[in-house]
Structure 1
Amino acid sequence: MSYYNGMNAEEISRLPHDNRTGDTITAVVLCMFFATLAVGLRLYTRHFILRGVWYDDYFALAGMVGMLSNGIVQCIHTGYGLGAHVYDIHDEETLVQFFKLLYVMTITYNTSLMLIKFSLFLQYYRLIQEVPHYRIFYLATMAVVGGWLIAQEFTLIFPCSPIQDYWSFRPGRKCLDSNLIGWMNAVGNIVTDLIILALPIPVVAALNLKKGRKWAVLGIFALGFFTCIVSICRMVFFAKISNDLSYDLVPVAAWGEAESASGLICSALISLGPLIRRFSRYFNPVKKTTNTPPKYSQKYFGATNPFSRHTTNRDRTNISRKPFDGSETELNRIDLERSRKPDGQDDGRSIRSTKSAESITNLKLNLETGIKTIISSGNRDSTHSQSLAMAPNGIVVKQVWSVRNREPDEEDD
């Protein structure tokens, strides 16, 4: 701030006076919207589809609250100088409020990231907890990284002694080097992100999955590395901060909000598989087709048909145990006598029904059409079995079209 002390109004008027308030609010609102949507879909999937919400989901919810809090603080912060040039903040009270909100913003930013990383830790632990030796290594790594995150949190909460010195300008105040704390925070976040995201890769690579599916799973986990890229972008803008803190802080704060949002979105994508599969069924319905006309299939091959695919195993067992003796059944009880050959060539092992209860409409060609259902049993030397495929239980059912000449004096039944 002292860089601008002693400058007169004419010198200040020649400096730029643009404002980044609109950019800050736009970036924050977009991050908040997409992250909240992702977490909402994750909780819906876990509760309503998988019927199980675990600790990682609760930490994700807490991380979302921290992310929303950080975004709200940033939007309020724009009313106290965030996005404006520091030489445009003429009121000392406004400057004090600026540093108070900056203190709160750093804590909400770090707290949200800490909760999101714990959520990722627990989410990956839930997936690899069945691997005993690697589980111990994972828990040890989680303890080390968790200790670092908590220590970082305490450093940001107590940067000065007393804390009020953070936003006061009294001489001789006792505070830690804010530049050093910022670099430790930025580098520490990148390192912990890499550690958390790299931990489950050896377990996933060792899974007994098809090559394509294994790469798909690894790709889902690799989405988390996008958070590392966002952290690097934030660190780049942090390195460009000058004495014009209120103006240069805008991209750092926006990328910090994007870092929390990307962590929530990437962790939610890992859990959305069941939800995507459920909704894909509505857009890709499986249509079943049949070659049997509907009016005949419902009557002769419905639920009462012992050879229907809807027949239970118990019914099929009972049918297979009963020998076929040529008696009437549901399939051949109609026009049974008309279907027998007059010369007595039936051997008792086959029954033919040449006409259905309702004949298909005559085509005015003096022909009568219908459906012929052939049921045959016996050995493969049987006359009727030679042209039909023999079923394992010795019973063959075949449905064919039948056409016969219509006698001139024959009436419709």
Structure 2
Amino acid sequence: MARFPIEKDDQRVILAANILMIAVPMVAVSLRLLSRRIAKRAFHLSDYLMVAAVCVSASLSSLSITGVVRCGLGYDHMANILQVYGLEPISLLLKLLIGLQFTWVISLSLCKISILILYRKLFPTPFIHLASLATSALIATWAVATILAGCLICQPISKNWDLLMTDGYCGNQVLSFTITGAINLVTDIMVLVLPLPNLYKLQVPMQQRMVLVGVFSLGFLTCVVSAVRIHYLKSMDYTDLTLSMKHPNIFSGLEPSAAITLACIPLLRPLFRWSGGYSHTGTALGAKATSSYASKNSESSHAAKGGFDSRHIPLERVSKNTNSHDDGSSECRLRPEEDLYKHTAVATGRPPHSSSGSNGGSSMMIAESFVENDGGGDLEEQNKGQQRGDTQPHRSRAGITMRHEWDVTKQ
């Protein structure tokens, strides 16, 4: 098998670009998975699909590198290569071209579906749910159609790479690539626009809302790459693929690489949290709450003995609303992390005509306590049991049970 020397600038450009397009998205996905671990969040289906997408994207770049080394991509005109090296390198290049088309469409499809699944998790609304399903179905249909077009545009299929075959025919392959690229651009825009209305409606300050919209809009850079790729596809010459494939090859690899990398950026926030930590379910904790959460087991034991210190309850933010006075301040609503602890107040009393009371009077006993809620039984029943000591004589006593929750306001 032929092996071409790396001595032309076009060869070096193609090799350098494809090596970067392997390394950068792999680093981005690795950091995404690391962020999930730091935030103590379980891996989601969208993460697994993104890992699959980066593996297929790396295969695409590997095929391009093979084209440079084994097929003379970027080395010389195809006619000169045929004359010196024979048919084998060109036949292999035509096979690689089909493989490039397949890996390109598969990696992009996996990346987009991963993003759509993430949307369904971040924005659990009926519209996002249905729109994500419909867009995913469209992307899957486009992927299958692209693969079939790449195989069936020449009849018989072997005519795609057999230059000596005189029978059969081939359709307009460049036009086929251009049409599939245009549909891909449309689906890119659909995926990127889908969450923007929900982001804009978030009940957060305008500046923070614009930052979120900007981060999610980074994917429009992928649309730019896709448009540039379509432009270069139109100039691709099938009679001189070794030189005319340079730019289409680079941008075909750059598009999924950029899509994967940009899709990971919004999920890297845990890497840049300099204070605080995360609970085992992935909820962000403050710096003071982190130390208390780390010693949760000892505190739980202490709470069971009636000595729990409420100042060390891990708190999580429930909502944040702009102050109505528009003075720059904000109001934060907090609650104990995962409802680990509830502050309860229990009141019990005898009926007005109880035999143990005098002159029809009544007596009332009020007690407050911190009770650990481990999900094993009803919290109110636990409180009742604590007040009455779980003794049989008290079970007939009339009374009420109240549970109080507080909003904590940051002054």
Deviation at 1:103, TM superposition (A): 1.7
Q: 2:18 aligns with which of 16, 28, 38?
A: 28
* Cα contact 2:155–2:170 (8 A) shared by 1: yes
Secondary structure of 2:111's aligned partner: helix
Deviation at 1:198, TM superposition (A): 0.6
Identity %: 26
* Cα contact 1:99–1:166 (8 A) shared by 2: yes
Deviation at 1:20, TM superposition (A): 1.3
Matches of residues 239-388 of structure 1 in structure 2 within 5 Å?
A: 239-242=234-237, 243-278=239-274, 312=309
Aligned to 2:79: 87
Q: More strand by proportion, 1 or 2?
A: 2
Q: Does 1:47 align with 2:37?
A: yes
* Cα contact 1:107–1:157 (8 A) shared by 2: no
Aligned to 1:209: 204
Secondary structure of 1:234's aligned partner: helix
**Structure 2 CA distance for partners of 1:271 and 1:202, relative to 1, 3 Å:** same
Aligned to 2:340: none
Deviation at 1:160, TM superposition (A): 3.0
In the alignment, the residues of structure 2 paired with residue 279 and residue 192 of structure 1 have an alpha-carbon distance, to the nearest angstrom, of 39
1:359-407 superposed Cα distances (whole Å, 9 cap, x missing partner) = xxxxxxxxxxxxxxxxxxxxxxxxxxxxxxxxxxxxxxxxxxxxxxxxx
* Cα contact 2:120–2:129 (8 A) shared by 1: yes
**Structure 2 CA distance for partners of 1:19 and 1:274, relative to 1, 3 Å:** closer
In the alignment, the residues of structure 1 paired with residue 91 and residue 276 of structure 2 have an alpha-carbon distance, to the nearest angstrom, of 54
Aligned to 2:50: 60
Deviation at 1:66, TM superposition (A): 0.6
* Cα contact 1:60–1:119 (8 A) shared by 2: yes
Q: Does 1:179 align with 2:174?
A: yes
**Structure 2 CA distance for partners of 1:109 and 1:87, relative to 1, 3 Å:** same
In the alignment, the residues of structure 1 paired with residue 204 and residue 162 of structure 2 have an alpha-carbon distance, to the nearest angstrom, of 60
In the alignment, the residues of structure 2 paired with residue 312 and residue 98 of structure 1 have an alpha-carbon distance, to the nearest angstrom, of 71
Aligned to 2:142: 148
1:59-107 superposed Cα distances (whole Å, 9 cap, x missing partner) = 1000000111011111011121211221331212222112122221221
**Structure 2 CA distance for partners of 1:254 and 1:133, relative to 1, 3 Å:** closer
Deviation at 1:18, TM superposition (A): 5.5
Aligned to 1:164: 158
Deviation at 1:280, TM superposition (A): 9.9
Aligned to 1:292: none
In the alignment, the residues of structure 1 paired with residue 242 and residue 231 of structure 2 have an alpha-carbon distance, to the nearest angstrom, of 17
Deviation at 1:122, TM superposition (A): 1.3
**Structure 2 CA distance for partners of 1:209 and 1:251, relative to 1, 3 Å:** same
**Structure 2 CA distance for partners of 1:278 and 1:122, relative to 1, 3 Å:** farther
In the alignment, the residues of structure 1 paired with residue 221 and residue 45 of structure 2 have an alpha-carbon distance, to the nearest angstrom, of 24
**Structure 2 CA distance for partners of 1:312 and 1:50, relative to 1, 3 Å:** closer
**Structure 2 CA distance for partners of 1:108 and 1:279, relative to 1, 3 Å:** farther
In the alignment, the residues of structure 2 paired with residue 104 and residue 168 of structure 1 have an alpha-carbon distance, to the nearest angstrom, of 15
**Structure 2 CA distance for partners of 1:144 and 1:229, relative to 1, 3 Å:** same
Matches of residues 227-238 of structure 1 in structure 2 within 5 Å?
A: 227-238=222-233
In the alignment, the residues of structure 2 paired with residue 280 and residue 180 of structure 1 have an alpha-carbon distance, to the nearest angstrom, of 55
Count of aligned residue pairs for this structure pair:
272
TM-score (norm 1): 0.61
Secondary structure of 1:207's aligned partner: coil
Secondary structure of 2:204's aligned partner: coil
Q: Which ranges in structure 1 are unaligned for 5 or more consecutive residues?
A: 1-16, 288-310, 315-413
* Cα contact 2:18–2:250 (8 A) shared by 1: yes
In the alignment, the residues of structure 2 paired with residue 193 and residue 279 of structure 1 have an alpha-carbon distance, to the nearest angstrom, of 36
In the alignment, the residues of structure 2 paired with residue 279 and residue 166 of structure 1 have an alpha-carbon distance, to the nearest angstrom, of 58
In the alignment, the residues of structure 1 paired with residue 186 and residue 60 of structure 2 have an alpha-carbon distance, to the nearest angstrom, of 22
Deviation at 1:119, TM superposition (A): 1.4
Aligned to 1:380: none
Q: Which ranges in structure 2 are unaligned for 5 or more consecutive residues?
A: 1-6, 278-286, 289-307, 312-411
Deviation at 1:19, TM superposition (A): 5.4
Aligned to 1:342: none
Letter in structure 2 aligned against 1:42: R
Aligned to 2:104: 109
In the alignment, the residues of structure 1 paired with residue 93 and residue 32 of structure 2 have an alpha-carbon distance, to the nearest angstrom, of 36
Aligned to 2:121: 126
Secondary structure of 2:170's aligned partner: coil
**Structure 2 CA distance for partners of 1:173 and 1:217, relative to 1, 3 Å:** same
Deviation at 1:48, TM superposition (A): 4.0
